[in-house]
Structure 1
Amino acid sequence: MNRLLLSTVAVLGLLVASAAHGQDSDNMKKLQAFQSTGTSMDFKTIDQTGKTAEQLRKNLEEIKLPDGFRIDLFAVVPDARHMAVGPQGIAVFVGTRKQNVWVATDRDKDRVADEVKELAPSISFTIPNGVCFSKDGFLFIAEQNRVLVLPAAEFFYESPDVAVGEVVPQGKLIPASEESFNHTARVCRIGPDNKLYIALGQPFNVPPEDKLDLFAKEGIGGIIRMDRDGKNREVFVSGIRNSVGMQFNPANGDLWFTDNQVDGMGDDIPPGELNRATKAGENFGFPWYGGGDVRTEEYKSAEPPADAVMPQVKFTAHAADLGMDFYAGTMFPQKYRGGIFSAQHGSWNRTTPVGARVMFTPLKEDGTAGEPEVFAEGWLTGSGEYIGRPVDVETMKDGSLLVSDDLAGAVYRISYEK
């Protein structure tokens, strides 16, 4: 009886998934031909008032910041992950690890979102975590196994139908056989070379040896780059476990990225990483190194790459370093300009939890990292309870800093007043 029930549920699930895929495929064809899909104008929107917003504002009273800074609720955004601020400053696009991309709009420019609604309900997204803009206004969305581009997204998002193109078709970002529930939240950036860069986390804690050749070929456990139309794909750098945050240094074009390191080695090892890639082809040491120069048990007898690049910064072990951004604004004091803000999501498997904060790392004159420091903290209480888990940081046009939080379902705004 139970087997029959489970089999029936499984079949129904496949039928529903197949129908949804078919509808998405039909809609994609229509959108690419600039045809209407008939999708309702009744957008899914998120209430920005009421008890949820009030409680989120109350929670922010626990957040500690340097003197002169303040933090406010910018928007209630369910499952808020990586963010992309539109080049025109009209809207903020927020990815998730579920099926929605949200758009937060501050119409009256009081620095609080008036409206949060779903982007392009005519498209079925699958883990659309990675959102990034080109300078000329093209929004790229890196899903679990597809990459889309939405031209002029800041101006078309008011409609359920949007202009859309497939940079990488479904099932072609990684081999379908390697699709996993683990480490599939992609991040993307447009580089100074006008190419699209995407980080591809590998699914294992430490991958088995028989996967290494395939992963190296596909760029899984690395960062790939390609032309904006998907052509000329190549592996840019390798030896990365799971990077969920990267940004180019506007001063010299170097690509910096965070990396989440091996679990199960102990509370205090291996460290989290902030890395700098200065050229194509560099290897950052994983899986021979589990984080920093700590060797993994699985590969301790194997010879690591002689030219493995060590991290610029070793963060507290298991703090889960995710999104990062260079501060290019002018609102904050001089100390912060040109430095790196990064989000620590917080540990899940440490005896004493750590993280759930925003870090700041200054850069030295030679382009290397200085000593990191805590910038914003308090989402992890003294009793070890999470009231929030920061995911990403992005600089606004006015120089304020946005922080996303997928636990609380919110985006915060940090500003500075002299």
Structure 2
Amino acid sequence: MKRLSTLTMVGVALLVSACNDKGGDTLAHGADPKLPAPQRGLLPSMKIAEPTPWGDQKPTVPEGYSVTAIAGDLQIPRQTLVLPNGDILVAEGRGGNAAKLKPKDVIAGYIKAKGNTKVKSGNRLTLLRDADGDGKYELKTVFADNLNAPYGLAFFDNKIYVANQDALVRFDYSEGQTAAAAAPTTITQLPSEINHHWTKAMTISPDGRYVYVGIGSNSNITERGMEAEVDRAMVWQIDVNTRTYKPYATGLRNPTALAIHPETGQLWSVVNERDELGPDLVPDYLTSVREGGFYGWPYSYWGQNVDPRVKPENPKKVAAAIKPDYSLGSHVAALGLSFSQPVMGAKFANGAFVGEHGSWNRANPVGYKVIFVPFAGGRPAGEPIDFVTGFRDADGKTRGRPVGVTVDPKGALIVADDLANVVWRVTPNR
């Protein structure tokens, strides 16, 4: 009976999905995307990934570049960190414990899970080492385990910072070390009750004084009430010495990756926006993050576009909402961000790489790739360029889903793939 009930729910979901299949062909990019009228329905359109092995295939990269799998058989790789000696740390795991509120949440959760890996959460950091510099990482070893869904990673002054889903912790580090010498020190607790959006993105200021942590909302649009959103949907600034924090910027529904621009020192984020307004709303985005800035959630989107579902309304907050810098397109699920360097080649020397995990709530899937957003003068400038593709075929067969992206100063882009449980390395041919 339980299985029959599940199948019935899935059938209903697919039926409603077909009925709601309107639009979904628009993917607006840039500073001034054309936003369509909202579409409302019982359920969003759903088209999930159909996992299939890579076999002897690889992702597609631009002419003049090569891609190699440098580690496999991981346990849900999310984000990576290149240490000063060239070793790579991989954060592995899955978090979240939010109860489903409505039948549609159960249905959507069941369907989304079909497009994810079935591998158990690693809750660990794995270290990769290429000792002879030939591009083959012959050492793969556990650097630290018994963590709690680690996600964000940062390094400064022989300290490794890890953002677990419930706390910011720190490891002491000596160059060449292949395993943590002791349990980590807890810097501060992070919001973890409910944890609808559990990932804790992170970066560190150039002087090492502040860690910035992105904390997602506990709902799509406050279905659990505003009391569940205290200290959430924002970026925290944490003083690593005093272990105190303050809200740095608010109204960011789910800031999933953070990075400091290498020339301007400006903090940037990619943000996953709200659902259930149709296949072409609301654009996920790349934006500079201003201290004290408010970015709209939950009251409005893309500046002053009011979300009528949120009650009571807050005209004062809407009037203050900052319009993001750059639309990535709706539901691409951007989860990775890393600024480039000249070693990545002239065409990709100045800009940001963005890992797009891929949509589940569009009839025409989007994302499932790594893109490059060109910059000029410290700002996005131009259309995005596909950099790593081939994760999903036109027939729905999906071999991988990119998450974190990290530029290696030696001249490589490191891409975590949490469906195939692989780390890819993309290099310019020389």
TM-score normalised by structure 2 residue count: 0.75
Higher RCO, Cα 8 Å, sep 6+? 2
Per-residue Cα deviation, 1:358-402 (whole angstroms, up to 9, x for no partner) = 011111226344332222211011102211000011011311111
Is 1:66–2:62 an aligned residue pair?
yes
Higher helix share: 1
Is 1:299–2:310 an aligned residue pair?
yes
Aligned equivalents of 2:302, 2:138: Cα separation in 1: 42
Q: Structure 1 stretch 333-342 or stretch 291-300: which is displaced more?
A: 291-300
Is 1:247–2:247 an aligned residue pair?
no
Residue of structure 1 in register with 2:214 after alignment: 199
Task: Label 1:285 to 1:133 Cα distance change in 2 as closer, same or farther (>3 A).
Answer: same
Q: CA deviation at 1:247?
A: 0.3
Is 1:129–2:146 an aligned residue pair?
no
Contact map agreement 1:255 1:276 (CA 8 A) in 2: yes
Per-residue Cα deviation, 1:293-339 (whole angstroms, up to 9, x for no partner) = 653232385414323111111112111011100012x3322232231
Aligned equivalents of 1:94, 1:125: Cα separation in 2: 10
Residue of structure 1 in register with 2:190 after alignment: 173
Task: Label 1:293 to 1:362 Cα distance change in 2 as closer, same or farther (>3 A).
Answer: farther
Residue of structure 2 in register with 1:110 after alignment: 134
Residue of structure 2 in register with 1:401 after alignment: 413
Q: 2:162 aligns with which of 132, 136, 141?
A: 141
SS of 1:88's equivalent in the other structure is: coil
Identity of aligned residues (%): 27
Amino acid at match of 2:56: K
Aligned equivalents of 1:147, 1:232: Cα separation in 2: 12
Amino acid at match of 2:57: N
Residue of structure 1 in register with 2:19 after alignment: none
Higher strand share: 2
Residue of structure 1 in register with 2:113 after alignment: none
Residue of structure 1 in register with 2:20 after alignment: none
Amino acid at match of 2:198: T
Aligned equivalents of 1:90, 1:334: Cα separation in 2: 25
Q: CA deviation at 1:112?
A: 2.0
Task: Label 1:153 to 1:284 Cα distance change in 2 as closer, same or farther (>3 A).
Answer: farther
Task: Label 1:369 to 1:311 Cα distance change in 2 as closer, same or farther (>3 A).
Answer: farther
Residue of structure 2 in register with 1:41 after alignment: none
Contact map agreement 1:226 1:232 (CA 8 A) in 2: yes
Task: Label 1:291 to 1:104 Cα distance change in 2 as closer, same or farther (>3 A).
Answer: farther
Is 1:83–2:105 an aligned residue pair?
no
Task: Label 1:370 to 1:221 Cα distance change in 2 as closer, same or farther (>3 A).
Answer: same
Per-residue Cα deviation, 1:243-285 (whole angstroms, up to 9, x for no partner) = 11110001111111001111121111111111112x4101111
SS of 1:394's equivalent in the other structure is: strand
SS of 1:281's equivalent in the other structure is: coil
Residue of structure 1 in register with 2:295 after alignment: 284
Contact map agreement 2:171 2:185 (CA 8 A) in 1: yes
Q: CA deviation at 1:292?
A: 6.0
SS of 1:359's equivalent in the other structure is: strand
SS of 1:335's equivalent in the other structure is: helix
Is 1:152–2:189 an aligned residue pair?
no
Is 1:162–2:182 an aligned residue pair?
yes
Aligned equivalents of 1:269, 1:367: Cα separation in 2: 24
Contact map agreement 2:93 2:124 (CA 8 A) in 1: yes
